[in-house]
A and B are shown apart, each in its own frame.
Chain A
Amino acid sequence: MEAMLRDRKAILVFVGPALLIYSVVILVPIIWSLVYTVFEGSVIGGFQFVGLHNYAELFSDPTFWQAFLFTVKYAVVVTIGQVGIGLLLALLYVFYLGKASPLIRTLVFFPVVLPTVAVAALFKKIFEITPTYGLVNSLLHVIHLDAWIQPWLGQAGSAFWVIAIMDIWRSMGFYGVLLFAGLVDIPAEIFESAKIDGASGWRMVRYIVLPLLAPILFSSFIFSINGTLKVFDSVLALTNGGPGQATTPLTLYMFTTAFSNGEYGYGSTIATALAIMCLFVTLLIFRSARQDVG
């Protein structure tokens, strides 16, 4: 049997196709992308070697830093929102809901699977101000809070929050289930013995639940940050990076640089910066997780 499991030709047949297509479509482009960063141009216009010019431009480009800040701000806010509310939901599912729990979980999970463009179209209508009031503005009008009616998507500040709310709304069910699975892993006897020791409610959560949930919480944080740093769909569909470039994350900035301005070299530089950011953040969280949990 050993010989059969070591059959070289068979291994090639099994692993070959996947490895081939993966290398050609994923690995090679990664290297290629790095090479692009020292060039400038486009497929149509041709390329020219520019050395480290793109990197210099990156550091002095105010739009890049604006996009960088937006990306970070968005990642932090939405991660805290998603995972935080997810945690609250998980606590709800486990401690306060009995038979209804699976049904509620399923319902709240639902927005996770919806296409982002459809959700964005929906939210655009919810926050619309002109030509007719959307859901939110109509509501404000009806309860006579007309002073609060505003172009939610037309102002940088409120547009950010609309995007954040939309994405938190969308994903909270996901983290709810994720953390729920972690909570369920905790054996009941721990809670019982804690109860005997006098812990209850909030203290139970803080000193028992959270520490035991820590590994999954970290896992969720990493997953969430990774995903939110790369936000693209939601922003494109809801505000297209506007007004101006106020809600443009790095992913969208890279996209418009490459395809609207025809600057593939600079676009690749932005993408590389983004990739480094993702790696850096993930490593950072890994490190602090190691130190805490040991």
Chain B
Amino acid sequence: MGQALTKPIRETTTTTPPHGRTKYFAGKLLARIPVWILVALLLIVVLYPLIWLLLSSFKTTEEFNTSAFWTLPSGLAWQNYAQAWNSGMGTYFLNSVLVVFPSLLLVLVFSLAASFGLEVMKWRFNNVVLLIFLAGIMIPSQMILLPLFTMYFQAGLINTRWALIITYTAASLPLSVFLMAGFFKNVPRTIIEAAVLDGASIYQVFFQVAVPMVANGLITIGLVNFFFLWNDLLFSLTFISSDNLRTIQTGLLNFVGQYGQIDWGPTFAGAAIAVFPTLIVYLILNQQVIKGLTAGSIKG
């Protein structure tokens, strides 16, 4: 949807502004100091709560009651983390891993195959089916929640990890198929033709030609889905009720409910533990993450 009136001068696959523009305005600004104050304020607003979270997780309960909120912790109260981990956060973390990664794998495999079939292969209904997948992006999860609950209930899948894996996989398919189809559109047909002329079967074309060409797309889609699934609350709240199967979000909810208002230290530690994985993924792959999450919304 970002149609410019004329073709942009530069390739906009990079995310830095063309230098000419910045220098032009920078020179014109009367005082640059206010900008840096603005930026500093912005960073404080965005980062201070998180820093506060981290620092507070290292305080002991007495420190909370006696010293002011901005003081640094006097020591590193690692026992907060130990308590948080042992009181359940460890289990919740593990459950999230056990549920999210298989789903991710399934989503990637299915959407790869499906988008290839929809975008590269030719048949009468491929546009219709593509539209059917797209429609799924619009539906609120609440629409499917109750029937799914009934289905899983009859199948005895309530309170099992399967319920989540199946749901996560299915719910991630619309967007993934959509994005992946977009990537497949960019695969030049000439390369495929060349492969066919060399004697490849359709499956070989898929595995050895098409898939490697959308490898980048795989990472993007993987990341987009990782964040959606890791942070899911509604489905895990509905389908899982026993404590030892909870995932991170529902587990943290439970954890905060138990310790929340009294034991600040472990509560903050628990929240910090919940935040770490996403933080690490983000730190390592931030550009990919940003591109991926925004690509998911710009297109279409």
Interface of A toward B, CB cutoff 8 Å: 1-2, 4-8, 10-11, 13-15, 17-19, 21-22, 24-30, 32-33, 36, 43, 89, 92-98, 100-102, 104-118, 121-126, 128, 131-135, 138-139, 142, 169, 173-174, 177-178, 180-182, 184-192, 195, 200, 212, 215-216, 218-220, 223, 226, 229-230, 232-233, 236-237, 251, 254-255, 258-259, 264, 267-268, 270-272, 274-275, 278-279, 282
Contacts and interface: CB of A to CB of B under 8 A. Distances in A.
A290 to B, nearest CB: 13
A272 B39 contact: no
B144 A268 contact: no
A254 B293 CA distance: 28
Contact of B202 (A10, A118, A131): A10
A271 B146 CA distance: 10
B2 A215 contact: yes
B8 A185 contact: yes
B5 A226 contact: no
Most chain B CB neighbours (cut-off 10 Å) among A36, A112, A192: A112
B243 interface: no
B4 A174 contact: no
Given A28-B147, A118-B275, A125-B264, A102 B15 contact: yes
A127 B42 CA distance: 20
Given A114-B275, A115-B231, A282-B138, A188 B113 contact: no
Interface of B: 1-9, 12, 15-26, 28-29, 35, 38-39, 42-43, 45-47, 49-50, 52-53, 56, 64-65, 68-69, 110-111, 113-114, 116-118, 120-123, 129, 132-133, 136, 138-151, 153-154, 166-167, 169-171, 173-174, 177, 192-193, 196-197, 201-203, 205-206, 227, 230-231, 233-234, 237-238, 248-250, 252-253, 256, 260-262, 264, 267-268, 270-272, 274-275, 278-279, 281-282, 286-287, 289-290, 293-294, 297-298
